[in-house]
């Protein structure tokens, strides 16, 4: 009997049976080409269908020429989209997975220009967007009718291509939500004013879509309960809309947040600091009021959580998008009773939504094969086997070395991993000690399981040197010896109390009550150390050598953390380059003006100055017959993402 009996119960909607209660929510991937479904997008979704997902909801498709909010979205405004959708539907149906498509108009939520010039955004009223600083033009009644017809035409194209249903995106402050919101919809015609009038746009969209797709296709709606913004929809308002629209819907898909503000947008892909399954209570409230199936998402990253949500009657389907990004085989592993083999998502946001915001194809720091399915194809989780078995020695047990060792062994090589310390994990062991980042330790847990499954020989407390390599005689040595804290030359350093972030996290530093964190990298470390010390009762000033704290990290992580630091009273000083120290005074230079920034009353200066590579082994092993392959921080200090990716690449090249 399955350990997850409720998760693996089928659900039938409009005659289409979804084999289990796990679905992938609609999410941008940056994989479309020429606004259509590409081979890469099909391969991406196919990997999750083969992995056992019950339902996949393809990413947003624009329904009107004014819906183009990025340059790499899908558009369903002409029949040219049909062949791509047909290819997607056929591929997923062959694996037993149902597929829906999202119908989308952002309204005022325009993220980028098509050609450098700002486009005209259209919304119910001229109420500006705060996040993208867009002032929209109010929609005329003629445009409203045109957009409604666009929803219907797009729905006809998608279902005509073989999709099992369509989902109206009324979530996250997009156009339908803008019509519902009395603080955004200031119209005084039949589409605004009263609650009844503010519902009219969605009623007419749903009626037009139903007429276009016929009786055999599902029509659902995604909506945020709490938009988590003072100007956003509240749970009371969203619930009232859901109840009023129930008769027109086959299901409702609930989430939280809004694109319209920095604080609300965090909930589009909530980081690890946010509680698991935190939207489920609102889903339960909805479920108590309606008879249609209720879908829910929001930090549901393990089948155990999905089982609890469904068994508790809070929802009927669980969106587990990032869980499927981290491990496409997650549903199959859960169904087969192998939950320990699941590579659990840690909600770091670094390579999934983080890549999207940078304009790159989404991936995963733990599973870099995601988004690269055409480069690293797998079947049932199995990799292509090596043509010749080789003896491989991996020096270093951080994320880079662990990934390289696991993948090389999976491909049939004889692999031994040596770690100088008593534990595997490298800098990830420190990262998990930052406030709210304990889940990052899951990276180590997941990689250790991959090593075990692959049969890698692991030797701890053993430092690799020339004598060891000569004795073992490997054909390949993968150098993954990592990095160490960077201590730049600081004038007057001997007169002050200076420590680095590693010493703080390890409890090796005696930190005073007034602290300045000198943050060169502008990443997780500076913000995390500032939070830790503030919670310890210190007065903290965070001086960052950039525009903002967390400049280089995923924006939802950064914005959530910025709010936390503000609540804790941390003073953030931007444009600050560390210059020197004189006793209890720290000297910085304003990067833009060149003028001095003098911070007095400093008990401790904490250096968050990044890492420098540790690669003495390359020179020590030079002249040996073994091929030397440096990866990760040993090659050049960066992040866990590059470390794991280079581990994969090194192993796949053997």
Please tell me what DSSP assigns to residue 123.
E
What is the pLDDT at residue 111?
A: 83
Residue 219 clears pLDDT 80, i.e. is over it: yes
Region 573-583 average pLDDT: 97
What is the pLDDT at residue 382?
A: 83
What is the pLDDT at residue 116?
A: 84
Distance (Å, whole) CA 50 – CA 87: 16
Question: 114 falls in which pLDDT band (50, 70, 90)?
Answer: confident
Element (DSSP H or E) covering residue 597: strand 596-599
CA separation, residue 30 to residues 359, 373, 419 (Å): 7, 14, 38
602-638 pLDDT tens trace = 999 999 999 999 999 999 999 999 999 999 999 999 9
β 539-544/571-573 pair status: parallel
Instruction: Please work out, in degrees rounded to the nearest 5, the angle formed at the alpha carbon of residue 78 by the alpha carbons of 72 and 80.
Output: 75
Please tell me what DSSP assigns to residue 386.
P
Residue 284 clears pLDDT 60, i.e. is over it: yes
471-513 pLDDT tens trace = 999 999 999 999 999 999 999 999 999 999 999 999 999 999 9
Question: 117 falls in which pLDDT band (50, 70, 90)?
Answer: confident
**For the chain, what percent of residues have pLDDT higher than 70?**
100
Q: Which of 69, 85, 174, 575 is catalytic?
A: 174
99: left (phi over 0), alpha (psi -120 to 50) or beta: beta
174 in active site:
yes
Distance (Å, whole) CA 35 – CA 235: 34
Strand partners, 483: 613
Supply the mean pLDDT for the chain: 97
Residue in 189, 207, 208 with CA at minimum distance from that of residue 198: 189
Residue 177 in tokens: 């939500």
CA separation, residue 585 to residues 387, 538, 540, 589 (Å): 62, 17, 14, 13
Distance (Å, whole) CA 580 – CA 38: 53
Instruction: Please work out, in degrees rounded to the nearest 5, the angle formed at the alpha carbon of residue 361 by the alpha carbons of 69 and 29.
Output: 50
Distance (Å, whole) CA 350 – CA 307: 27
Instruction: Please work out, in degrees rounded to the nearest 5, the angle formed at the alpha carbon of residue 354 by the alpha carbons of 351 and 357.
Output: 135
What is the pLDDT at residue 92?
A: 98
Residue 297 clears pLDDT 80, i.e. is over it: yes
The answer to whether 628 and 618 are in contact (CB under 8 A) is yes
Residue 383 in tokens: 């990799």
Q: Which residues, in sequence order, are CB contacts of 284 under 8 Å at separation 6+?
A: 312, 313, 314, 315
Ordered by where they begin, the domains of the chain are: 11-321 (3.20.20.70), 391-485+613-652 (3.40.50.720), 493-609 (3.50.50.60)
Least confident range of 118-122, 316-320, 634-638:
118-122
Question: 1 falls in which pLDDT band (50, 70, 90)?
Answer: low
Region 35-50 average pLDDT: 98
Residue in 344, 362, 350, 279 with CA at minimum distance from that of residue 314: 279
The answer to whether 519 and 543 are in contact (CB under 8 A) is yes
* Strand locations in 215-370 (E): 218-224, 251-255, 294-296, 317-319
160-192 pLDDT tens trace = 999 999 999 999 999 999 999 999 999 999 999
What is the pLDDT at residue 651?
A: 98
Instruction: Please work out, in degrees rounded to the nearest 5, the angle formed at the alpha carbon of residue 64 by the alpha carbons of 62 and 65.
Output: 100
Residue 150 clears pLDDT 60, i.e. is over it: yes
Strand partners, 590: 576
The answer to whether 467 and 426 are in contact (CB under 8 A) is no
The answer to whether 202 and 176 are in contact (CB under 8 A) is yes
Distance (Å, whole) CA 41 – CA 32: 7
Residue in 79, 78, 61, 58 with CA at minimum distance from that of residue 70: 61
């Amino acid at each position: 009997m399955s350990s997850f009996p409720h998760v693996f119960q089928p659900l039938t909607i409009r005659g289409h049976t979804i084999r289990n209660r796990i679905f992938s929510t609609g999410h941008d991937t940056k994989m479309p080409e020429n606004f259509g479904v590409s081979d890469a997008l099909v391969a991406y979704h196919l990997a999750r269908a083969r992995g056992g997902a019950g339902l996949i909801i393809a990413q947003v498709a624009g329904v009107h020429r004014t819906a183009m909010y990025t340059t790499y979205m899908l558009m369903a405004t002409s029949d040219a989209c049909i062949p791509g959708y047909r290819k997607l539907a056929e591929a997923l149906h062959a694996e037993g997975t149902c597929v829906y498509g999202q119908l989308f108009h952002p309204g005022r939520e325009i993220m980028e220009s098509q050609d450098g010039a700002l486009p005209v955004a259209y919304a119910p009223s001229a109420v500006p967007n705060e996040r993208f600083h867009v002032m929209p033009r109010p929609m005329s009644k003629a445009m409203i009718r045109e957009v409604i017809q666009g929803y219907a035409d797009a729905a006809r194209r998608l279902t005509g291509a073989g999709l099992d249903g369509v989902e109206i995106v009324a979530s996250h402050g997009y156009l339908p939500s803008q019509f519902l919101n009395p603080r955004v919809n200031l119209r005084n015609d039949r589409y605004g004013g009263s609650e009844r009038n503010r519902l009219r746009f969605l009623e007419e969209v749903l009626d037009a879509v139903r007429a276009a797709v016929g009786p055999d296709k599902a029509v659902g709606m995604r909506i945020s309960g709490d938009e988590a913004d003072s100007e956003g929809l509240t749970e009371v308002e969203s619930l009232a809309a859901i109840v009023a629209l129930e008769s027109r819907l086959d299901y409702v898909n609930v989430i939280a947040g809004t694109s319209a503000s920095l604080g609300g947008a965090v909930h589009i892909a909530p980081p690890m600091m946010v509680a698991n399954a935190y939207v489920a209570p609102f889903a339960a409230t909805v479920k108590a009021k309606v008879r249609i199936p209720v879908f829910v998402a929001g930090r549901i990253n393990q089948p155990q959580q999905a089982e609890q949500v469904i068994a508790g009657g809070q929802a009927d389907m669980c969106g587990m998008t990032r869980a499927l990004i981290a491990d496409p085989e997650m549903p199959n592993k859960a169904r087969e009773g192998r939950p320990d083999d699941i590579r659990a998502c840690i909600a770091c946001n670094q390579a999934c939504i983080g890549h999207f915001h940078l304009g790159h194809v989404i991936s995963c720091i733990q599973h870099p094969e995601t988004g690269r399915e055409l480069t690293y194809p797998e079947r049932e989780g199995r990799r292509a086997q090596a043509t010749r078995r080789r003896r491989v020695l991996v020096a270093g047990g951080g994320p880079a070395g662990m990934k390289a060792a696991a993948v090389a062994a999976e491909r049939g090589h004889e692999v031994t991993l040596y770690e100088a310390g008593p534990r595997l994990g490298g800098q990830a062991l420190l990262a998990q000690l930052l406030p709210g980042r304990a889940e990052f330790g899951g990276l180590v847990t997941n990689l250790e399981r991959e090593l075990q499954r692959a049969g890698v020989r692991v030797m701890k407390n053993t430092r690799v040197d020339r004598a060891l390599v000569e004795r073992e005689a490997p054909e390949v040595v993968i150098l993954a010896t990592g990095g160490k804290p960077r201590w730049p030359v600081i004038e007057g350093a001997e007169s002050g109390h200076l420590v680095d972030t590693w010493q703080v996290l390890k409890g090796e530093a005696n930190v005073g009550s007034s602290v300045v964190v000198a943050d060169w990298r502008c990443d997780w470390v500076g913000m995390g150390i500032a939070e830790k010390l503030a919670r310890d009762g210190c007065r903290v000033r965070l001086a960052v050598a950039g525009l903002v704290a967390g400049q280089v990290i995923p924006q939802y992580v950064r914005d959530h953390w910025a709010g936390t630091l503000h609540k804790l009273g941390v003073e953030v000083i931007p444009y600050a380059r560390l210059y020197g120290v004189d006793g209890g005074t720290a000297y910085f230079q304003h990067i833009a003006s060149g003028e001095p920034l003098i911070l007095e009353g400093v008990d401790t200066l904490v250096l968050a100055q990044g890492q420098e590579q540790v690669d003495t082994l390359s020179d020590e092993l030079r002249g040996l017959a073994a091929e030397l392959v440096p990866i990760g921080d040993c090659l050049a200090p960066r992040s866990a993402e590059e470390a794991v990716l280079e581990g994969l690449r090194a192993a796949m090249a053997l």
